[in-house]
Amino acid sequence: MATISIDPQLCSHCGICTQICPLGIILPGGEDDMPFMPDPMDEVCVKCGNCEAFCPEGAISPLFSTKHSIVSDPLSDNMDPEQLGAYMRARRSIRNYKDEVVDKGTIEEILDIVRYSPSGINMQPVNWLIVHEPDEVRKISALTIDWMRDIIDSDMEHPMKPMMSSLVSAYDMGADPICRGAPHLAIAYGAGNLAYTDCVIALSWFELSAPSFGLGACWGGFLKVAASSYQPLIDELGLPEGNSVQHTMMFGYPEYKVHNIPGRNPVKITWK
């Protein structure tokens, strides 16, 4: 069966679908002058749905069922760059959390936004392990500290080694320098090297979406590195065979409010 189906009653032959297809496999001039995708190309289509998204007549039937539709054009009608810029600039890494659990429905709502993030050739390789049990998050912090203790006690060189002693001391004094006492973790995982970039993009979307739900998040860099190499932690996470942790984020309700936006280096641009 053809991947795309175009309604001849609705198609205005504007040719936009032939121009926006990322692989150029929708061709003009098919039967009755309709755009068409030659049969062998069905296999190549990445099912990004851009033909469907950009068709002004709604002539291309959906590739997947979706509950989302554009009522007005959010890119030109609603979205004020000032407002969006203020929202994005106000995002901060959150390292202090309320002792309050986020309900699973809210997390699913965020992930429903995040699944629209871009991925190479629309492979959508991102899988999620959501650690919802706060006690399990504490266990994961403890295992990450065990990993650090092993490295400190060994002759092993590690770029993070100089930081480890103070993190372990802080942990021994009752702090959680790994997951910062967050109630939950979002762990993006997948198979193969190609999954990495897409998982990082998806987590960036997660972090950016979080404040609109009243939540805050922070990347878990130490955890990510430990989860990629320390077998007891790998075993604890128990990902399906062939998959590995690509990156991690802690999240929950922030204890403190952001009042100011700190400065950053000037942008470095080369124009050609």
Q: Does residue 222 touch ligand FMN according to CB under 6 A? A: yes
Which position among 220, 233, 253, 254 is part of the footprint of ligand FMN (CB under 6 A)? 220
CA–CA separation, 168 and 171 (whole Å): 5
Residue placing its CB nearer to ligand FMN in the complex, 10 or 175: 175
CB of 179 to ligand FMN, least distance (A): 9
CA–CA separation, 150 and 147 (whole Å): 5
Q: How far is CA 147 from CA 99, 121, 229, 234, 265, in A?
A: 26, 36, 9, 11, 34
Q: Are 145 and 178 in contact (CB under 8 A)?
A: yes
Q: How far is CA 77 from CA 51, 109, 113, in A?
A: 22, 24, 20
CB of 66 to ligand FMN, least distance (A): 31
Which position among 143, 201, 218, 245 is part of the footprint of ligand FMN (CB under 6 A)? 218
| Neighbour order of strands in the sheet with 184-190 | 127-131, 184-190, 244-252, 216-219
Binding-residue total with ligand FMN (CB under 6 A): 8
Q: Does residue 252 touch ligand FMN according to CB under 6 A? A: no
CB of 252 to ligand FMN, least distance (A): 14
> CB under 6 A: which stretch of 148-156, 160-168, 214-222, 235-243 binds ligand FMN?
214-222
Q: How far is CA 212 from CA 110, 119, 194, in A?
A: 9, 23, 29
Pattern of binders to ligand FMN over 64-103, x per CB under 6 A?
----------------------------xx-x--------
Q: Does residue 5 touch ligand FMN according to CB under 6 A? A: no
Q: Which residues of this protein are in contact with ligand FMN, per CB under 6 A?
A: 92-93, 95, 218-222
